[in-house]
Amino acid sequence: MTNPPSEASSSVGSGLRIGVLALQGDFREHLHAVEAAGATGVGIRRPAELDDIDGLIIPGGESTTIDKLARIFELADPIRKQIASGLPVYGSCAGMILLADDIADPATDLGGNPQQTFGGLDITVRRNAFGRQRESFETDLDFKGLEFSAGESGVDPVHAVFIRGPWVERVGPGVEILAQVEPGKATHTDTLHGLARIVAVRSGRLLATSFHPEVTGEKRVHELFIRMIRGEV
């Protein structure tokens, strides 16, 4: 199930430059998604490339690897400063982990030091919470904030793909929950222990999802992010 951009949504990003952190992970798919919405996609690998963008996407991949590479390429502190100054940022899967203020189960390096995040979202996440690669699954989600896409029958659900995805275990008072996976909607419901799990959140100009809309053809999450950049939602 895909949601190709309509004539209107294919130009919603016109005039915007949206950076995608291009150190590791599926950054190419995010670049294609923002370009399909009419924006200019920019791969970000150097600090100077952060200066001329309207928003930033942190892609799925390995959060520990992205963390290490961001520090090696001297991007970590500039990204933190941009987030603090109000740059709109969207993180998917590993990107959600990197936007979180707290990780319930951080990985550690050989020296015992826990992985770092860029922070900004007052949430606690758990890595690989839905299981390993072989426990990946797909499901439809009710997703708040997509009223701009409503048709005669309302807003269609978002078809979400979870690949070693995190979930959110705590949200701060300024964080809005946009979507949750209900126990009956996951293929391995025992992992959920009978509880709905938070998989999409927003706080101000920061957006994060546990899943990968960029791999399914689901364009509305990126369009939501673009509308956030424009201040429309």
Point out the residues that are catalytic.
93, 212, 214
Amino acid identity, residue 194? G
Residue 102, helix vs strand vs coil: strand
Q: How many residues does the chain have?
A: 233
Burial category of 146 from C-beta neighbours within 10 Å (exposed 0-12, middle 13-18, buried 19 and up):
buried
Q: Which two tokens stand for residue 128?
A: 């690989």
Cβ partners under 8 Å of residue 81, min gap 6: none
Residue 15, helix vs strand vs coil: coil
Q: Which two tokens stand for residue 163?
A: 């690949």
For residue 206, report the phi and psi dihedrals to the nearest 5 degrees.
Answer: -110, 135
Alpha carbon separation from 90 to 83, 142, 153, 228 (Å, rounded): 11, 19, 28, 10
C-alpha angle 155-158-162 in degrees, rounded to nearest 5: 165
Q: How many CA atoms lie within 13 A of 75 on its CB side?
A: 25
